[in-house]
Every structure is written in structure tokens, then in C-alpha cells.
């Protein structure tokens, strides 16, 4: 009898997520966690990590310190950070399960400006990969996982593909990943999605305003950046020239994570909703585009970084972070089994 042949590509599965009956639409799913959810209580101990180019990023640490233990590196979305509720919710769940959590605040993501003109973007994986390496140097026996949401999902998936079999992490999760950036940028110029874009552009303008003199000295047309009405105009005026891209289209083409999915060599879960208002369905990859260790879990509903279900009491339950925590617990189990009982799939 012949041995089974390993699959040459990844797989796509149907999610078990069921939305709260009051929140079946994509905008309700997207907005409620941001507007109405109380911030999950997590105490981060902040480390400033110096970078080789003279800049810095900050890392928010929580959970118990244990040599050779499990560390989850969490990467926020656009204009997110330590206060992002989805990040704090997962940090609390993982901390309860015995993980050490390291929330990476991407360069320029804080209210305090970073030291150089450029800030983070969808394709900027160097700082994440450097941090992974620093973790490995500090504790060679540490068992590292990575999680990213939205922009952070793109960064994590791109970094995993770039590193391939050399990735110093055991597993990764990406939520609401924008597989192809240009179609997403166009989607955000139309309909109700313009509301999300306006909010994000406002926050990006504030970031630029805090670095006005530094940017002007670097030759950036700050006025054009502050006049940008959408992501394409913003990326043409700011992201592309500061990071060596010809224009926004070149930036989107070179930084979209879809082209890196086939090179991922570690177990990776991607959770996306088909009704995500930041995206179009045509960007979803096929199973043939996924490396064998990659699973794309698709839900009909859930919005963008939403996935709000009904709790046992009929209230709101944040299914996405529960799903991520349970998958990580299964994929990177604790050496002792005591922590596993704290999470349910």
C-alpha cells in the first residue's frame, strides 16, 4: 500500500463563527468592538528597542517570564498600538494560558514620533524580523509565535514568506489580511467604506503633523500629504517616496502579502470574513496559492477585525481572539498540560 502523498498546497476551510443575532451586518461587526467594547485590562511593561538605523520601536510585555517558555508577538493594525482592544483581548487570554506576550508597536506608531522620517507600512517587515531574532538571541529555547491584524496581518504573512524555513517562529496567525493592497485601496474610496478611510486618514495626518519638520527636511511635500483625501493620495505623497517605491501602485504591488503565501514554511492560520468592508472578494487567494502549512479560514460574516458572537448570557463574545488563542494553544502547546485546560476551541 502506497504512503499518502502530502498536499502540494494549503487548504481553505469554512469557519464555525456565527455572528451575534443583533450584529449580522459587516459594519455592525466592524464598528461595535471599536466603539462600544470596554478596553480589556492588561498591564504592559514597556521596553524601548533600539534599531540599527538609530530609530526605535516599543514593545509592550505582559504575562509571566519563563526561560524556554512561549512568547506571542502581537502586531497591531494601521493606526493601532498598545491600546487596540483586539490586541489587549488576545494578550489577556494568552496571559491566562501561561504565554508571555510581546506587543510590538511599529515604528512611528506611538504618540511620540520616531526619530527618522519614515514610519511603518504594509511591507515593512525588517523590524519584526529583527525582533524575532533578538528574542531568539535572548532565549534560544523560547517558543515564538506571531499574530497580526489587518496591516499587521500583511506584515506577519509577508515576513513569514520572506523567512521561509528560516523563520524563528513556530506558528503564525493573521486576521483580516488584505491580500492585495490596491483593490483594497480602491474599495475604501467607495460607499460606506469611505467612513473607515476618513478616520484612518485623519489619524495618519496627525502622525505626519507630529513629524512635520523632520519630513520637510527629508524633502517630503508635507502639504500634499496633509491634503490627501484617500490612501492612494497619501501613499503617493508619503509612503512611496520615503520607502523607495515609485508610487502608490508600486508600493501596493511589491508589499501585498498574497505573493508571499506560497513560501511560508510554518503552521499558519489566516482568518478572514467574506463580508469584510475593507476588501473585495476577488482578493481572496486560492488553495493553490497557499503553502502546505497554511490554512485560510473563511467566514461568511464577521466584518473587519470584528467576529462578535453571542456569549452564553446573550451578550457580546469576541470570538476572533478566542479562536486565535485556542489555535495557538493547540499548535504550540505548553510543555505542561495545565495551561491547555484554560482555553476551549
> Do 207 and 325 share a domain, yes or no?
no
Active site residue 150: yes
Question: Residues 120-140: what's their mean pLDDT?
Answer: 97
- Choose the weakest-confidence range: 138-142, 158-162, 329-333, 336-340: 336-340
User: Is residue 1 pLDDT above 80, yes or no?
Assistant: no
User: Is residue 113 pLDDT above 70, yes or no?
Assistant: yes
Active site residue 276: yes
pLDDT for residue 104: 98
Res. 338 pLDDT band, cuts 50 70 90: very low
Give the separation between CA 158 and CA 174, rounded to whole angstroms: 11
Q: Can you give the residue range of the structural domain that contains 285?
A: 11-178+261-342
User: Is residue 258 pLDDT above 60, yes or no?
Assistant: yes
Give the separation between CA 191 and CA 213, rounded to whole angstroms: 35
Q: Give which of 100, 142, 104 is closest to 124, Cα–Cα.
A: 104
pLDDT for residue 344: 41
Residue 266 lies in a domain: yes
> Do 251 and 150 share a domain, yes or no?
no
Give the separation between CA 213 and CA 85, rounded to whole angstroms: 32
Domains held by the chain: number: 2
pLDDT for residue 17: 98
Res. 110 pLDDT band, cuts 50 70 90: confident
> Do 233 and 199 share a domain, yes or no?
yes
Question: Residues 120-133: what's their mean pLDDT?
Answer: 98
Contacts of 216 (CB under 8 A, 6+ apart): 222
Contacts of 272 (CB under 8 A, 6+ apart): 175, 176, 177, 279, 284, 296, 297, 298, 299, 302
Backbone angles phi, psi at 122, to 5 degrees: -60, -30
pLDDT for residue 335: 81
> Do 320 and 338 share a domain, yes or no?
yes
> Do 46 and 103 share a domain, yes or no?
yes
Res. 340 pLDDT band, cuts 50 70 90: very low
pLDDT digits (tens, 9 = 90+) for 162-215: 999 999 999 999 999 999 999 999 999 999 999 999 999 999 999 999 999 999
CA 139 to chain centre: 24
Which of helix, strand or coil describes residue 304?
coil
> Do 288 and 337 share a domain, yes or no?
yes
Query: Which regions of the chain does DSSP assign to beta strands (E)?
Result: 11-14, 45-50, 56-62, 70-75, 100-105, 143-149, 171-175, 268-273, 294-299, 308-310, 316-318
CA 302 to chain centre: 16
> Do 246 and 313 share a domain, yes or no?
no
Residue 116 lies in a domain: yes
Give the separation between CA 59 and CA 47, rounded to whole angstroms: 5
User: Is residue 345 pLDDT above 70, yes or no?
Assistant: no
pLDDT for residue 205: 94
Question: Residues 295-305: what's their mean pLDDT?
Answer: 98
> Do 186 and 82 share a domain, yes or no?
no
- Residue 50 burial by Cβ neighbours in a 10 Å radius (0-12, 13-18, 19+): exposed
CATH of the domain at 279: 3.40.50.1820
Domain boundary among 235, 255, 275: 255
Query: To which residue does cell 483581548 refer?
Result: 89
User: Is residue 4 pLDDT above 70, yes or no?
Assistant: no
Provide the mean pLDDT of the chain.
Answer: 94
Contact, 251 vs 180, CB < 8 A? no
pLDDT digits (tens, 9 = 90+) for 31-60: 999 999 999 999 999 999 999 999 999 999
> Do 161 and 225 share a domain, yes or no?
no
Cα radius of gyration (the chain): 19
Give the separation between CA 23 and CA 74, rounded to whole angstroms: 27
Which of helix, strand or coil describes residue 180?
coil
Residue 310 lies in a domain: yes
Instruction: Spot the catalytic one: 150, 176, 256, 299.
Output: 150
pLDDT for residue 289: 98
| H or E element in which residue 187 lies | helix 181-187
CA distances (Å), origin 86, targets 30, 34, 38, 166, 323: 11, 9, 11, 29, 12
Residue 195 lies in a domain: yes
Instruction: Spot the catalytic one: 124, 176, 276, 299.
Output: 276
User: Is residue 339 pLDDT above 50, yes or no?
Assistant: no
Counting residues of the chain whose pLDDT is more than 90, the rounded percentage is: 91
User: Is residue 100 pLDDT above 60, yes or no?
Assistant: yes
Query: Which regions of 150-233 does DSSP assign to beta strands (E)?
Result: 171-175
Question: Residues 77-85: what's their mean pLDDT?
Answer: 96
Question: Residues 104-114: what's their mean pLDDT?
Answer: 91
pLDDT for residue 112: 82
Residue 5 lies in a domain: no
pLDDT for residue 172: 98
Contact, 172 vs 146, CB < 8 A? yes
Res. 230 pLDDT band, cuts 50 70 90: very high
Domain boundary among 255, 288, 309: 255
Specify whether the backbone of 143 is left (phi greater than 0), alpha (psi in -120 to 50) or beta.
Answer: beta
Res. 6 pLDDT band, cuts 50 70 90: low
Contacts of 315 (CB under 8 A, 6+ apart): none
Domain boundary among 255, 273, 305: 255
**DSSP letter, residue 119:** -
Res. 66 pLDDT band, cuts 50 70 90: confident
Contact, 211 vs 229, CB < 8 A? no
> Do 235 and 271 share a domain, yes or no?
no
Res. 25 pLDDT band, cuts 50 70 90: very high
Residue 2 lies in a domain: no
Sign of the Cα pseudo-torsion (302, 306, 310, 314, in order)? negative
- Residue 51 burial by Cβ neighbours in a 10 Å radius (0-12, 13-18, 19+): middle
Straight-line distance from the first to the last Cα atom of the chain, in angstroms, rounded to the nearest whole number: 35
Residue 71 lies in a domain: yes
Question: Residues 291-300: what's their mean pLDDT?
Answer: 98
Res. 75 pLDDT band, cuts 50 70 90: very high
> Do 214 and 111 share a domain, yes or no?
no
Residue 3 lies in a domain: no
> Do 88 and 231 share a domain, yes or no?
no
Amino acid at each position: 500500500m502506497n504512503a499518502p502523498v502530502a498536499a502540494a498546497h494549503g487548504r481553505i476551510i469554512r469557519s464555525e463563527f456565527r455572528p451575534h443575532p443583533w450584529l449580522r451586518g459587516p459594519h455592525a461587526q466592524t464598528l461595535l468592538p471599536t466603539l462600544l467594547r470596554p478596553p480589556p485590562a492588561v498591564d504592559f511593561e514597556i521596553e524601548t528597542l533600539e534599531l540599527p538605523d538609530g530609530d526605535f520601536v516599543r514593545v509592550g510585555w505582559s504575562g509571566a517570564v519563563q526561560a524556554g517558555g512561549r512568547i506571542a508577538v502581537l502586531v497591531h493594525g494601521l493606526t493601532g498600538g498598545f491600546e487596540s482592544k483586539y490586541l489587549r483581548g488576545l494578550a489577556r487570554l494568552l496571559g491566562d494560558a501561561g504565554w508571555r506576550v510581546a506587543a510590538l508597536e511599529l515604528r512611528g506608531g506611538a504618540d511620540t514620533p520616531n526619530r527618522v522620517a519614515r514610519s511603518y507600512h504594509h511591507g515593512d517587515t525588517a523590524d519584526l524580523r529583527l525582533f524575532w531574532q533578538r528574542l531568539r538571541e535572548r532565549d534560544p529555547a523560547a517558543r515564538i509565535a506571531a499574530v497580526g491584524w489587518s496591516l499587521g496581518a500583511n506584515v506577519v504573512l509577508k515576513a513569514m514568506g520572506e523567512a521561509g524555513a528560516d523563520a524563528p517562529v513556530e506558528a503564525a496567525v493573521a486576521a483580516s489580511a488584505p491580500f492585495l493592497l490596491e483593490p483594497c485601496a480602491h474599495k475604501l474610496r467607495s460607499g460606506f467604506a469611505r467612513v473607515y478611510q476618513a478616520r484612518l486618514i485623519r489619524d495618519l495626518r496627525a502622525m505626519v503633523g507630529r513629524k512635520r519638520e523632520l519630513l520637510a527636511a527629508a524633502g517630503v511635500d508635507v502639504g500634499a500629504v496633509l491634503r490627501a483625501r484617500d490612501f492612494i493620495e497619501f501613499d503617493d505623497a508619503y509612503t512611496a517616496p520615503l520607502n523607495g517605491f515609485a508610487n502608490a501602485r508600486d508600493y501596493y504591488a511589491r508589499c501585498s502579502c498574497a505573493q508571499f503565501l506560497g513560501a511560508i514554511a510554518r503552521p499558519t492560520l489566516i482568518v478572514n470574513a467574506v463580508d469584510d468592508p475593507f476588501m473585495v472578494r476577488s482578493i481572496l487567494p486560492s488553495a493553490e496559492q497557499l503553502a502546505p502549512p497554511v490554512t485560510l479560514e473563511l467566514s461568511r460574516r464577521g466584518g473587519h477585525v470584528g467576529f462578535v458572537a453571542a456569549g452564553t448570557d446573550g451578550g457580546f463574545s469576541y470570538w476572533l481572539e478566542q479562536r486565535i488563542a485556542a489555535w495557538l494553544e493547540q499548535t504550540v502547546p505548553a510543555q505542561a498540560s495545565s495551561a491547555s485546560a484554560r482555553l476551549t476551541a
